[in-house]
Each structure stands twice: as structure tokens, then as C-alpha cells.
Amino acid sequence: MKLLRELADNAADFASTVGGVTLFLGRTLGQAPRALLRPSLIIEQVHNTGALSLVIIMICGFFVGAVLGLQGYNLLLRFGSEDALGTAAALALIRELGPVVTALLFAGRAGTSLASEIGLMRATDQLTAMEMMAVDPIRRVIAPRFLGGLIAMPLLTLIFVAIGIYGVQVVGVQLFGVDQANFWSQMRSSVSIDDITEGAIKGCVFGFACSLVAVYEGYTATPTAEGVGRATTRTVVISAVLTLMLDYMLTAVML
Amino acid sequence: MGPSGTGKTTLLRLITGQIKPTRGQILFDGIDVSSLNTSELYALRRRMGLLFQNGALLTDIDVFENVAFPLREHTDLPETLIRNIVLTKLQAVGLRGAAKLMPSELSGGMARRVALARTMATDPEVLIYDEPFTGLDPISMGMIVRLVRQMNQALGITSIVVSHDVEELSILADTSYIIASGKVAAAGTFDVLKEHPSEIVNQFINGLADGPVPFHYPAPDYNQQLLADSA
């Protein structure tokens, strides 16, 4: 009986959270057109979430590509098809690793920054002060940050993939001596626009999900140090789980 | 005025429509605050200003931009006019020279003075202050008291001040209310309050430890608890 009650309570909590997120998203999207009228606020957030994440994205992109080069070369060597390294690595990066790893890094770097910033604004009455000045914080704070994340994430994915392919090339071509012409020509002939579209769609969807989670968790954070800390942690955990779940669903649909 | 935890800040939140009353009405210039939708409430809030206890300055912009914030959000004034208004308000609180500082570089008292300048920027009809004197040095406190009085008299602003500082309020307020246990225990000029027969009002005005407002939060017997814990 107690177990049933707990299950019912959890289900009610879950439904309440889903309802809360939906309403929040509705308000954010409702304010998005007005936020777009002030592009400087959005550009600032693209800088905060995108440009400031560039270093980590580029370093991780290079090493993910380099590891892919190492593993891919050793695997393909067994079948005598090491020239296909460029194709295999590019497809893996464009369709899967690029969007997914970028989203995980985005959640860790930009998502936590957004959640803690907004949570601290809540804790220090800055959001209430805006409301008292008749300024809707959803329009002034949340919508620009959400849109900034939404724009930055696909761009970061693009950069991650490009640097990742460079990492594969460094290991495959320069270290192991895979033929450079084959490496690039096979990649160009095998990677189709559909593959790029799949990666781009994933980048946009993950950007939407990770940005929404970050701004929602920050906005609804308990206004204490512990509450802000918890919101930051939840942002990473929920974004990571959501990214991998959405990745499975999108891959199943687009295969 | 009133003892801690008696509902003063809650009353301010009710007046500003941050929370809704479970019963009764809050009338602002004849308008029932709790019956307004969000856009109507925002329209009403443009006629009032609230000074937060901690200042609540926006930490990502400097002092100048904090004071300019409501002007930029609600008006299409040219930049020169905004600049002049902001400098005038900062001059009034003595912080024109701090215009380029970030909120993190300000002391608590300075932050509250900047917040006051920001609150004054749009010339509201009613100014609401939540504990404006807490943590201020005597010079700043005297300046704020003078400023509030000058604004009331010169601009015809109504000010609602929540405070524990009996002395400052005695200089400032035309009418004082002492709230205790969620109710108005006494109202009137400061002279009336001083002579009020209520024990609770007497205890508060004179800062007495003994009286109807207990110093200790309700707890079991002290000696018994000590003995029980040691056993």
C-alpha cells in the first residue's frame, strides 16, 4: 500500500513537472519574438554559451577525433580497408559523436553556467526586482538565454565535427600513413547531405533540450546556495539523460 | 514597524502583488491588486517602486546601467536624456562618481543607495522600502532619511517604509503602524504610539526584553532538555 502511494506521489510529481516545463516553454516561446527585437541580448548570450565554450569544444573535438582515428585505423586494418578511415570517422562524427558529445559538453559548460546564473539571480532577488520594475524576466533574462543556447549549440556541433575530422586526419594520415587522397575523396563521396542533415537536426534538438533544461532549472531553483547547487547538478544530469534518450529516438526515426 | 517574523515583508509582497491574499483586498488607488492579470499588474507596478533590503541590483551591468535599466525598458528616451536622468538620480544618492563600478565593487550600503536611485528613476507615485536602514552607517542612514523626506515633500510621493529602526521612523513617518501577530496593534503619529497603552507597543517602542513578544522561540523547558540530553 505504501509502495503504491509512493508510486502515485512520484507520478503526480512527474506530471506536475512536465506541466510546469510545458507552461514555462510556452511562456518562453511566447516571449521569444519580443526578445528577438533586442538582438544585442541574444548575441551576448550566443557569446556566453557559444564563444566561451569554444576552447573546451575544440580540445575535446580534437581528442575524440584522434581516438576515433586510433581505434578506427586498428579496426579497419584487420579488414585491409584502412583507406575507409575518413568515411567511417566522418560518418560517426557527423551523425552521432559530434551532436551527442557537443551536447554533453554544452550541458557541462554552458548549461551549468546558465542554471547557476539564473538561480543566483533568483536567490538575490534580481528576478523579483525586474518583476517589480514591470519587466518580465522571461522576456529579459530567460528568452535571450534560451535562444542564445539554441543558436550556439548547432554552431558548436559544426566546429566539433570539423576539429574532430582534423583529429582523425592527424592520427590516420600523418601518424599511420593512410593515403591522404583516399582519406578525403572517400569521405567526400560517402558523406551525403542526409548525413549532414541528421547531424544538424540532432544539434538543434539537443540545443533546444539542453538550453530549456538549463534555463528552467535555474528559474525554478530554490533561492538558496544549496538550491542553486542542486539546480546546477540537475541541469547536467537531466541534459545528459535527455540527450542520449533523444539521440536514440532521432536515430531510430532517421535511419 | 513590528517585531521580526510578524509579517511586515509579507504585507509588502501583498501590496506589490507578489502574493495574493487568502482573504480581504489590497486596494492601490482604488484598484484591487489581487484581481489584476499579469499585464495589468505590470502596468500598476510602473506606478510604484520597491526598494529591496539587499538592493537586488543586476550584477551583470554597472551602476549606471542599473539605474538606466527601467528607463531603457519602459521608455524611448534619447540617450542624452537617459544619461542626464541617471546622473541626476546618482547625484541625489551621492554616487555619481561610482557610475562605472560594478555591483560587486559596492558595499551593502552603497548598493542600497544605487537601488534607491534606480527606484526613483521612473518617478513612481508610491515608493516602498523594505528595511532601508539595515546595515547602513550613520552618515548614509541620515542621508537616506533626508532623501526620503525630501522626495515625499518635493514630489508628493507616498512612501511606505518597513523598518525596525524606531528612531529613524520617528523622524520620517507621518503615520506609523505597529504590526504584531499579523494584526495592526497600533496606528498614529509617533507621539501617539509612545503613549499607547498596549503592552506590545510599549515593549517594541522602548526595546524591552520582557513583554508579550517573547525573546525565545517556543521550546521545551531548558533545564529539562539539558538533563535529558546529558542522560
Complete DSSP assignment for chain A: -HHHHHHHHHHHHHHHHHHHHHHHHHHHHHHHHHHHT-HHHHHHHHHHHTGGGHHHHHHHHHHHHHHHHHHHHHHHHHTT-GGGHHHHHHHIIIIIIHHHHHHHHHIIIIIHHHHHHHHHHHHTTHHHHHHHTT--HIIIIIHHHHHHHHHHHHHHHHHHHHHHHHHHHIIIIIIT---HHHHHHHHHHH--HHHHHHHHHHHHHHHHHHHHHHHHHHHT--SSHHHHHHHHHHHHHHHHHHHHHHHHHHHHHH-
Q: Is residue B2 part of a domain?
A: no
A140 touches chain B (CB under 8 A): yes
Q: Is residue B50 part of a domain?
A: yes
Query: Chain B residues with CB inside 8 Å of A133's CB?
Result: 45, 69-70, 73, 118, 122
Task: Provide the pLDDT confidence category of residue B231 given band limits of 50, 70 and 90.
Answer: low
pLDDT over 80 (residue A200)? yes
B76 touches chain A (CB under 8 A): no
Do B18 and A128 count as a contact with CB atoms less than 8 A apart? yes
B28 touches chain A (CB under 8 A): no
A43-100 tens-digit pLDDT:
999 999 999 999 999 999 999 999 999 999 999 989 888 888 999 999 999 999 999 9
Restricting to B residues 177-216, those with a Cβ less than 8 Å away from any Cβ of A are none
Domain range holding B38?
A: 8-230
pLDDT over 80 (residue B210)? no
A131 touches chain B (CB under 8 A): yes
Do A125 and B52 count as a contact with CB atoms less than 8 A apart? yes
Task: Provide the pLDDT confidence category of residue B192 given band limits of 50, 70 and 90.
Answer: confident
Do B50 and A129 count as a contact with CB atoms less than 8 A apart? yes
pLDDT over 90 (residue B203)? no
Distance from CA of A125 to the nearest CA of B (A): 5
Q: Between B153 and B126, name the one with better pLDDT.
A: B126
B149-189 tens-digit pLDDT:
888 888 888 899 998 878 788 888 888 898 887 788 888 88
Whether the CB-CB separation of B122 and B129 falls below 8 Å is answered with no
pLDDT over 80 (residue B215)? no
Distance from CA of B44 to the nearest CA of A (A): 8
Task: Provide the pLDDT confidence category of residue B72 given band limits of 50, 70 and 90.
Answer: very high
- Tell me the mean pLDDT in the region B43-50: 90
Query: Chain A residues with CB inside 8 Å of B114's CB?
Result: none
B117 touches chain A (CB under 8 A): no
Do B59 and A131 count as a contact with CB atoms less than 8 A apart? no
Q: What is the pLDDT of residue B187?
A: 87
Q: Which CATH number covers residue B178?
A: 3.40.50.300
Distance from CA of A121 to the nearest CA of B (A): 8
Do A140 and B43 count as a contact with CB atoms less than 8 A apart? no
Q: Between A4 and A244, name the one with better pLDDT.
A: A244
Compare all CA atoms of chain B with the CA of A120 and give the residue at the minimum distance. Answer: B59
- Tell me the mean pLDDT in the region A127-140: 93
Q: What is the pLDDT of residue B183?
A: 83
Amino acid at B78: P
Is the C-alpha dihedral spanning B30, B32, B38, B42 positive or negative?
positive
pLDDT over 90 (residue A203)? yes
pLDDT over 90 (residue A157)? yes
Interface test with A, best of B41, B46, B73, B76 (most A CBs within 10 A): B73
Q: Is residue B3 part of a domain?
A: no
Distance from CA of B73 to the nearest CA of A (A): 7
Query: Chain A residues with CB inside 8 Å of B46's CB?
Result: 134
- The percent of residues above 90 in pLDDT, for chain B, comes to 31
- Tell me the mean pLDDT in the region B78-102: 93
Do A134 and B18 count as a contact with CB atoms less than 8 A apart? no
Q: What is the pLDDT of residue B122?
A: 87
Do A124 and B59 count as a contact with CB atoms less than 8 A apart? yes
Distance from CA of A30 to the nearest CA of B (A): 14
Cα–Cα distance between B47 and A39 in angstroms, integer? 28
Give the SS3 label for residue B144.
helix
- Round the average pLDDT of chain B to a whole number and report it: 87
Q: What is the pLDDT of residue A122?
A: 93
Task: Provide the pLDDT confidence category of residue B212 given band limits of 50, 70 and 90.
Answer: confident
Q: Is residue B1 part of a domain?
A: no
- The percent of residues above 70 in pLDDT, for chain B, comes to 99
Query: What are the domain boundaries of chain A?
Result: 40-254
A121 touches chain B (CB under 8 A): yes
8-state DSSP, B112: H
Restricting to B residues 119-158, those with a Cβ less than 8 Å away from any Cβ of A are 122
Indicate the pTM of the whole model. Answer: 0.86
Q: Which of B45, B58, B70 sits opposite A126 (nearest CB)?
A: B58
